[in-house]
Structure 1
Amino acid sequence: MSLNPMPVQPTLHTPLMARLKWLMVLRVVLAILFIGISSWFQFKQTSPIQPSFYPAYGIVIITCLLTILYARLFKWVADARLFAYLQIFGDILLITATVYVTGGIESLLSFLYFLSIISASILLNRTGGFYAASASSIAYGLLVNLDFYKVLPTGYKTIMAGNVEYERGDILATVMLNIIGFFTVAFLTGYLAERTVKIEKELEEKKIDFKKLEEMNKYIVENINSGILTIDEDSRITSFNKAAEKITGYSLEEVYNQSIDAVFTDLMNEHGYSMNPLDEGPSYFRIDKVFKKKDGKELFLGFSVSPMKEGGHVIIFQDLTRLRDIEEQLKRGDRLKALGELAAGMAHEVRNPLASISGSAQVLKQSLSLSDEAQHLMDIITRETNRLNALITEFLLFAKPAVKMAKINLSDILNDTIGMFRNSPESKNIEIQVKLDDSLVINGDGGQLKQVFWNLFLNASHAMLDGGQLKIGGHCSHIKQPFDSNGAKVVVIDISDTGAGIPQDKIDKIFDPFFTTRDSGTGLGLAVVHRIIENHKGTIEIRSRQGEGTSFKIRLPMMKSED
Structure 2
Amino acid sequence: MPSSSVGGLVLAGRPEADTLRTRLVWLTVFRTVATSLSLVAVAARLFLQPIEEPSRADMLSFAVIGLVYVFTLVYGLMLRGGRGVDRMAAVVQVAGDLVVASMLVFLTGVGDSPFTFTYLLAVIGASILLDGRGALVAAGAGAVAYTLLLMAVKYGWMEPPLGIAPLSRQRILFLLISNLLAFFLMAVLAGYLSRQLSAAGGQLSEREADLQKLDTLQRQILACMPSGLITSDAAGVVTFVNRAASAILALEPRLAPGTLVEAVLPGALGPDARLRRREMTVQTTAGMRTLGLTVTGLEGPGGGGTLIVFQDLTELRRIEEDLKRADRLAALGTLSAQLAHEIRNPLAAMRGSAQLLVQEPGTTDPTSAKLVEILLRESDRLSKLVDDFLRFARPPPPSLQRLELEVLVAETVDMLRVDPIAQEVQVEMILAPVRVPVDPDQLRQVLINVLRNAFQAAGRGGQVRVTLEVEEEELALLRIWDSAGSIPVADLSRIFEPFFSTREGGTGLGLSTAYSIVRAHGGNIRVRSSPQEGTEFLIQLPLRG
Give the TM-score taking structure 1 as reference length: 0.66
Distance change in 2, residues 1:191/1:353 (3 Å): same
Q: Residue 239 of structure 1 corresponds to which residue in structure 2?
A: 239
Distance of 1:21 and 1:123 partners within structure 2: 16
Q: Which residue does the alignment assign to 2:409?
A: 414
Pairing 1:493–2:485 present: no
> Which residue, 379, 384, 387 being the options, matches 1:389?
387
CA contact (8 A) 1:100 1:157 kept: no
The partner residue of 1:152 within 157, 161, 171 is 157
The one-letter amino acid of 2:138's match is A
Structure 1 residue 525 displacement after superposition: 1.9
- Post-superposition Cα deviations, 1:319-345, rounded to whole Å, max 9, x if no partner, equal 84xx32541343223321442255257
**SS of structure 1 residue aligned to 2:239:** strand
Q: Does structure 2 conserve the Cα–Cα contact (< 8 Å) formed by 1:432 and 1:470? A: yes
One-letter amino acid matched to 2:96: L
Residue 361 of structure 1 is matched in structure 2 by 350
Alpha-carbon distance change, 432 to 109 in structure 1, aligned in 2, over 3 angstroms: closer
Q: Work out whether 1:304 is the aligned partner of 2:294.
A: yes
Q: Following superposition of structure 1 onto structure 2, how do residues 454-473 of structure 1 map, counting pairs within 5 Å?
A: 454-463=448-457, 467=460, 471=464, 473=466
- Work out the CA distance in 1 between the residues paired with 2:159 and 2:414: 128
Q: Structure 2: how far apart are the matches of 1:470 and 1:196? A: 78
Find the aligned partners of 2:378 and 2:31 in 1 and give their Cα distance: 113
Matches within 5 A, 1:270-309: 270-271=271-272, 277=275, 285-291=276-282, 300-309=290-299
- For these two proteins, the number of residue pairs brought into alignment is 486
Q: How does 1:223-234 map to 2 (within 5 A)?
A: 226=228, 228-232=230-234
Q: Note if 1:13 corresponds to 2:5.
A: no
List aligned pairs for 1:254-273, cutoff 5 A. 255=258, 267-271=268-272
Relative to structure 1, the CA distance from residue 549 to residue 13 in structure 2 (aligned partners, 3 Å threshold; closer, same or farther) is same
The amino acid across from 1:454 in the alignment is I
Q: 2:305 aligns with which of 309, 313, 318?
A: 313
Which stretch shifts more, 541-550 or 76-85? 541-550
Residues 441-498 of structure 1: CA deviation (Å, up to 9, x unaligned)? 112222321221121133235436x656674644434x3xxxxxxx336434333445
Partner of 1:327: 317
Aligned to 1:190: 191
Distance 1:215 1:99, change over 3 A: farther
Alignment partners' CA distance in 1, 2:179 and 2:72: 33
In the alignment, the residues of structure 2 paired with residue 217 and residue 509 of structure 1 have an alpha-carbon distance, to the nearest angstrom, of 45
In the aligned structure 2, how far is the partner of 1:70 from the partner of 1:154? Answer: 23
Q: Which residue of 1 aligns with 2:512?
A: 527
3-state DSSP of counterpart to 1:13 = helix
Residue 121 of structure 1 corresponds to which residue in structure 2? Answer: 127
Pairwise CA distance, 1:161: 4.5
Deviation at 1:158?
3.3
**Offset at residue 358 of structure 1 (A):** 3.6
Name which of 476, 490, 500 aligns with 2:469. 476
Cα distance, 1:510 vs structure 2: 1.9
- Which amino acid in the other structure matches residue 444 of structure 1? V
Partner of 1:75 in structure 2?
Answer: 73
State which of 139, 154, 158 in structure 1 corresponds to 2:145: 139
| More off after superposition, 455-464 vs 209-218 | 209-218
Tell me the distance in 2 between the aligned counterparts of 1:510 and 1:332: 12
Partners of 1:436 and 1:292 in 2: CA distance: 27
When residues 263 and 439 of structure 1 are mapped into structure 2, their CA distance, relative to the original with a 3 A threshold, is: closer
Alignment pair present for 1:442 and 2:466: no
How does the TM-score come out when normalised to structure 2?
0.68
Structure 2 CA distance, aligned partners of 1:418 and 1:236? 52
Judged with a 3 Å threshold, the aligned counterparts in structure 2 of structure 1 residues 325 and 514 are, in CA distance, closer, same or farther, namely farther
Superposition RMSD in Å = 5.2
| Equivalent position to 1:556, from 521, 537, 541 | 541
**Counterparts of 1:180 and 1:69, CA distance in 2:** 30
- Deviation of 1:130 (Å): 4.4
> Partner residue of 1:54?
none
Deviations 1:218-257 (A, max 9, x none): 898799984624132xx4526365978894979965845x
C-alpha displacement of 1:128: 3.9
Q: Indicate conservation of the 8 Å contact 1:411/1:436, yes or no.
A: no
Distance 1:64 1:228 in 2: 65
Equivalent AA in structure 2 for residue 391 of structure 1: F
Amino acid at match of 2:388: A
Shift in alpha-carbon separation, 1:95–1:531, aligned structure 2, 3 A: farther
Contact 1:117/1:186 (<8 A) preserved: yes
In the alignment, residue 454 of structure 2 is paired with which amino acid?
A: A
In 2: Cα distance, 1:438 partner to 1:269 partner: 47
Deviation at 1:24, TM superposition (A): 4.2
Q: Which amino acid aligns with 2:233?
A: I
Residues 514 and 91 of structure 1, relative CA distance in 2, 3 Å threshold:
farther
Return the letter of the residue paired with 1:16.
L
Cα deviation, residue 517, structure 1 = 0.5
Q: Report percent identity of matched pairs.
A: 22
Contact 1:513 1:527 in 2 (8 A): yes
Aligned position for 2:7? none
Say if 1:21 and 1:548 are closer, same or farther in 2 by CA, change over 3 A: closer
AA in 1 matched with 2:444: K
SS at match of 1:488: coil
Aligned to 1:36: none
Q: CA 1:203–1:24 in 2, change beyond 3 Å: closer, same or farther? A: farther
1:405 aligns with 2:397: no
SS in 2 for 1:476: strand
Is this contact kept in 2: 1:474–1:491, CA < 8 A? no
Are 1:88 and 2:98 counterparts?
A: yes
Shift of 1:523: 2.0
Residues 269-317 of structure 1, C-alpha deviations (whole Å, 9 max, x = no match): 444x6xx63xxxxxxx544334457x99765455432222221322436
Q: Tell me how far apart the structure 1 counterparts of residues 501 and 129 of structure 2 sit (CA, whole Å).
A: 90
Structure 2: distance between partners of 1:428 and 1:63: 105
Give the superposition deviation at 1:412: 3.8
